[in-house]
Amino acid sequence: MSVSVRIPTILRTYTGGDSEVSATGANLAEVLDDLDARFPGVKGRILDEDGKLRRFVNVYVGNDDVRFQDDLLTPTPDGTEISVIPAVAGGS
């Protein structure tokens, strides 16, 4: 299943400057694996040493934060838009 992934500025060194790339996978974990195969190292920037989402990264599948869904097991149907965004924005 093909999905699109929006890449934040600080990870575009991995994608040759591309702000949006395509990937495949039935869920977020598989999508990240696919991304890492093509852009080695990028997964390690999004996940910590324990394989969990880093504290200051928000990942949205569609418009929903995966922390409110099934985290890395959140399904990524064909055509889904995924956004990886630094979590330090907002607020006071």
Partner 1 sequence: MSAVVTEVDRQVDTPASGPREGAFGNAVALACRECGHQVALGPFYACPECFGPLEITYEFPAITREEIEAGPRNIWRYKALLPVPTDIESSPNTEPGFTRLLRADNLGRELGIENLWVKDDSTNPTNSFKDRVVACALSAARELDAKVFACPSTGNPATAVAAAGARAGIKTVVFIPSNLEQPKQVNSAIFTENLVAVEGNYDDVNKLASEIAGEEEGWAFVNVNVRPYYAEGSKTLGYEIAEQLGWRIPDQVVIPVASGSQLTKVDKAFQELIKLGLVEDKPYRIFGAQAEGCGPVATAFKNGTDAIRPVKPDTIAKSLAIGNPADGIYVLDITRRTGGAVEEVTDDEIREGIVLLARTEGIFTETAGGTTVAVTKKLVETGVLDPTKETVVINTGHGLKTLDAVSGQVGAAATIAPTYSAFKATGL
**Paired tokens of 87:** 């979590």
Q: Which of residues 58-77 bind partner 1 (CB under 8 A)?
A: 58, 60, 63, 65, 67-68
Q: How far is the CB of 66 from partner 1 (least distance, A)?
A: 11
Determine, following the binding rule CB under 8 A, whether residue 92 of this chain makes contact with partner 1: yes
Strands (E), 36-75: 57-61, 64-65
Burial of residue 35 (number of CB atoms within 10 Å: 0-12, 13-18, 19+): buried
Q: Could you list the residues that contact partner 1 (CB under 8 A)?
A: 6, 8-10, 19, 45, 54-58, 60, 63, 65, 67-68, 83, 85-92
